[in-house]
Amino acid sequence: MVGTGGRVATFAVWDYVVFAGIILVAAGIGLFQAIRGRKETSSEEFLLGGRQMTAVPVAMSLTASFMSGITVIGTPAEAYRFGSAFWLFGFAYAIMSAITAEIFVPLFYRLGITSAYEYLEMRFSRPIRVIGTSMYIVQTALYTGLVIYAPALALNQITGLNLWGVLIATGAVCIIYCTLGGLKAVIWTDVLQMVVMLAGFVAVIARGAVLQGGLTKIWEDAGEGGRLEAFDFDPNPLKRHTFWSIVVGGSIMWVSIYSINQSQVQRYISCKTLGHAKMSLYVNMVGLWVTVSLAVFSGLTMYSIYKNCDPLSNGDVGTPDQLLPYLVMDILADYPGIPGLFVAAAYSGTLSTVSSSINALVAVTVEDFILPACKNLTEKQLSWINMGLSVVFGALCIGMAGVASLMGSVLQAALSIFGMISGPLLGLYLLGMFFRTPNSIGGLVGMIIGLVLTLWVGIGGQIYPPTAENTNPLPLTTAGCNNTIGQNYATVTPWTSLIFAFIYFHFSYRPPIADSWYALSYVYFSLLGALTTMVSGMIVSMITGGCKQEKLSSELFVRKSDLFCFSWCSKSKELDITEKCSTGFQMGADNPAFKEDDMMSKDVEKITKL
């Protein structure tokens, strides 16, 4: 009987057919784009799609890249255990979209960059650019390992396939997929994968509504179980999720993910106009709202079904991230192919995110390390380097999946990684974009101080997880279970068990700092890193003389015209071209917005008439 515990069915033949079919179609789209563009073998075509993309596919790609298997697996489990507070991230998505579109996009687009970290050399120095790129590579490798691990966990739960076999197979598919494609192939494949992910959520919610007697019943059950109490206005920064931590801390966290992360920047600077680049972020905002709403409601549906028999407490699953896969097989096994659709949803998100991450890692490695050292490479040599690096980074991400298995909940672990590393980087960018005083010494020292603090609190929080008083898990019961069984699937390998035993032995003593400093909500990591970097960077810069000895171009700073919305884009473009003509500053001639002679002459003619 559904919702009463025990062993559930595994994949049937039609599930494998649907799963394989969707993955083959997704891969086919990517290969089609690669074959269609086989004559355009330039590095810019591989990394930026020729800078000719439009807003809607880029927006869907932006959404798919960072929602992926992490959202499919982690967000419903979050809502099931902690309630619907995660819905409040909708406010953070709106704030993030506005800040990124109106401040960061005009600056990056105007400069015509390929790597987001080119800006750090323009504004500060070459060493800071190298450090920023290195931090991004470490962060992305860890995150991508999590993304590979999440759907492998789902496949292990639903099909019984060996976890590490699935991990290696996933990585191998992504390596082939990314090596043959490029950014254009990645973006168009993301469009299908986004649709598949949403279809997986809809299938779970629809079947749950039928079983429970309608969506109203699910909502009532969630309310009775305390799952709808989302607005907690407690200012305590140690509480995991409150209104303030999610809206304030979450906004900064998502700004650090979207505004300076190469995987995202690479997408919107591939747009053919500034208007398309901005619009892609606003359309992406709507996509994030829809995705997180379906994910949270899937979690509430899960609670309505398992309110009297928690599969985790009953031993039916081994980790919270296996809850949704278990639910899928419990309620949808009678519908051949639907469980395959769900696994394809998680797996599609993985292919999307991993291929995007590998493509971005290749971009920053080529732009920030290889080209500055070897300036005479031919396009053919660059093409081989791009493909070779895709293989190397794919293998690295597979290895990082092993580290990911030690990090607990995939959702919180993923966001914690971005908070610890992207926060100090965001502070460095804001320091350079808004203030003229900071110099390279202040920027470097500030970033190091910010990084040390965020790594200290983040790693400490992993070793000494916060107590239930701060995380506030909601009550669950096994009173309605028919029986109690042990975990059927091996999701932790022997060497990881030994590591856990070692950690427990050495850290069984809980120091006082574990319930204060280490208990800081993971959502505040980015805010802590950004503020620390900005304050300490400004102080050190003032002590060391600031930027008086350097003449910095106005192109490196945020302008008032950048802050206007779409109705002012044309006027902003005219101002850009006027300053280009007068200052002679290199504005990124490889950007189509600035290399079309006919458009240039028309704009200059307009200005002359004025």
Question: Which CATH number does the domain housing residue 407 bear?
Answer: 1.20.1730.10
Domain assignment present for residue 95? The answer is yes
Is a pLDDT exceeding 90 seen at residue 540? yes
Residue 535 pLDDT > 80: yes
Domains: count for the chain? 2
Q: Write out pLDDT tens, residues 422-459.
A: 899 999 999 999 988 898 999 999 999 999 999 999 88
Identify the pLDDT of residue 46.
47
| Per-residue confidence (pLDDT) for residue 359, from 0 to 100 | 74
pLDDT of 519 reads: 87
* Residue 558 banded pLDDT, cuts 50, 70, 90: confident
Q: What angle do CA 12, 17, 20 make, to 5 degrees?
A: 120
Distance of CA 12 to the CA centre of its chain: 32
Indicate whether 588 and 450 sit together in one domain: no
pLDDT of residue 441: 92
Residue 477's pLDDT is: 84
Residue 4, in any domain of the structure: no
In the predicted structure, residue 201 carries a pLDDT above the cut 70:
yes
Query: Does residue 523 surpass a pLDDT of 60?
Result: yes
Backbone angles phi, psi at 106, to 5 degrees: -60, -40
> pLDDT value at position 442?
92
Write down the pLDDT at residue 352: 67
Confidence of residue 489 (pLDDT cuts 50, 70, 90): very low
Residue 596 belongs to some domain of the structure = yes
- pLDDT over 90 percentage in the chain: 18
Are the C-beta atoms of residues 240 and 81 closer than 8 Å to each other? no
pLDDT digits (tens, 9 = 90+) for 260-296: 888 788 777 777 788 888 888 898 899 889 989 999 9
Judge whether 27 lies within some domain: yes
**Cα(167)–Cα(175) distance, integer angstroms:** 12
Domain assignment present for residue 8? The answer is no
Phi, psi at 53, each rounded to 5°: -80, 160
Mean pLDDT for the stretch of residues 396-421: 70
Are residue 551 and residue 572 in the same domain, yes or no?
A: no
Which pLDDT score is estimated for 155?
67
- Range among 7-16, 156-165, 511-520 rated most confident: 511-520
Same domain, 197 and 252: yes
The per-residue pLDDT of the chain, averaged, comes to 76
Question: Residue 419: enclosing H or E segment and its boundaries?
Answer: helix 410-434
Is a pLDDT exceeding 50 seen at residue 594? no
Mean pLDDT score, 570-582: 40
CA-based nearest residue to 194, from 38, 43, 349, 12: 349
The pLDDT, as a whole number, for residue 58 is 72
Same domain assignment for residues 601 and 538: no
Could you give the angle at which helices 250-259 and 525-543 cross, rounded to 10 degrees?
70
Q: Is residue 340 part of a domain?
A: yes
Segment 213-218 shows an average pLDDT of 92
Together in a domain, 467 and 502:
yes
pLDDT attached to residue 465:
82
Quote the pLDDT of residue 593.
40
Q: Does 1 reside within a domain? A: no
- Owner of token pair 């992504």: 174
527 burial (CB, 10 Å; 0-12 / 13-18 / 19+) is buried
Angle 465-408-91 (CA atoms, 0-180°, nearest 5)? Answer: 85
Mean pLDDT (whole number) for 449-473: 85
Which of these ranges, 49-58, 163-172, 235-244, 529-538, has the smallest mean pLDDT?
49-58
SS3 552: coil
pLDDT, mean of residues 481-505 = 47
Higher pLDDT, 395 or 214: 214
Tokens of residue 136, six digits: 């991004």
Is residue 573 located within the same domain as residue 531?
no
Instruction: Name the domain boundary from 542, 563, 584.
Output: 563
Three-state secondary structure string covering 200-234:
HHHHHHHHHHHHHCCHHHHHHHHHHCCCCCCCCCC
Which residues, at least 6 apart from 508, have a Cβ–Cβ distance to it below 8 Å?
A: none
Q: Judge if 98 and 230 occupy the same domain.
A: yes
Alpha-carbon gap, residue 288 to 248, rounded angstroms: 18
The predicted pLDDT at position 586 comes to: 38
Residues whose CB is less than 8 angstroms from the CB of residue 415 and which lie 6 or more positions away in sequence, other chains included? 253, 522, 523
pLDDT above 80 (res 460) = yes
Bigger pLDDT: 418 vs 460: 460
What residues form DSSP beta bridges with 53?
271
What is the per-residue pLDDT for 368?
Answer: 81
For residues 204 and 378, the model is more confident at 204
| Domain around 424 | 13-563
Determine the number of helices (DSSP H) and then strands (DSSP E) in the chain: 25, 0
For residue 550, what pLDDT is reported? 62
Lowest mean pLDDT among 94-108, 141-155, 167-181, 392-406: 167-181
Joined together, the tokens standing for residue 362 give 């290749």
State whether 350 and 328 are in the same domain.
Answer: yes
The pLDDT value given to residue 141: 81
Residue 563 has pLDDT above 80, yes or no: no
Report how far residue 460's alpha carbon sits from residue 287's, in angstroms, rounded to the nearest whole number.
34
Q: Is 338 inside any structural domain? A: yes
**Using CA atoms, how far apart are residues 560 and 65, in angstroms rounded to an integer?**
31
Q: What is the spatial distance between Cα 96 and Cα 90, in angstroms, rounded to a whole number?
A: 10
Q: For the CA atoms of 97, 351, 343, 491, what is the dihedral angle to 10 degrees?
A: -100
Say yes or no: 331 and 244 in one domain: yes
d(CA 69, CA 27): 17
Residues 292 and 197: their CA atoms lie apart, in Å, by: 11
Q: Which DSSP symbol is given to 8?
A: -
Residue 263 is encoded by which pair of tokens?
């995987």
Same domain, 510 and 581: no
pLDDT mean over 528-537: 94
- Both 586 and 525 in one domain: the answer is no
608: pLDDT strictly greater than 70: no
Within this chain, do residues 48 and 132 fall inside the same structural domain, yes or no? yes
Q: What is the pLDDT of residues 335-390, one digit of tens each?
A: 888 888 777 777 766 766 777 777 778 878 888 888 887 777 777 777 788 778 87
Average pLDDT over residues 190-210: 83
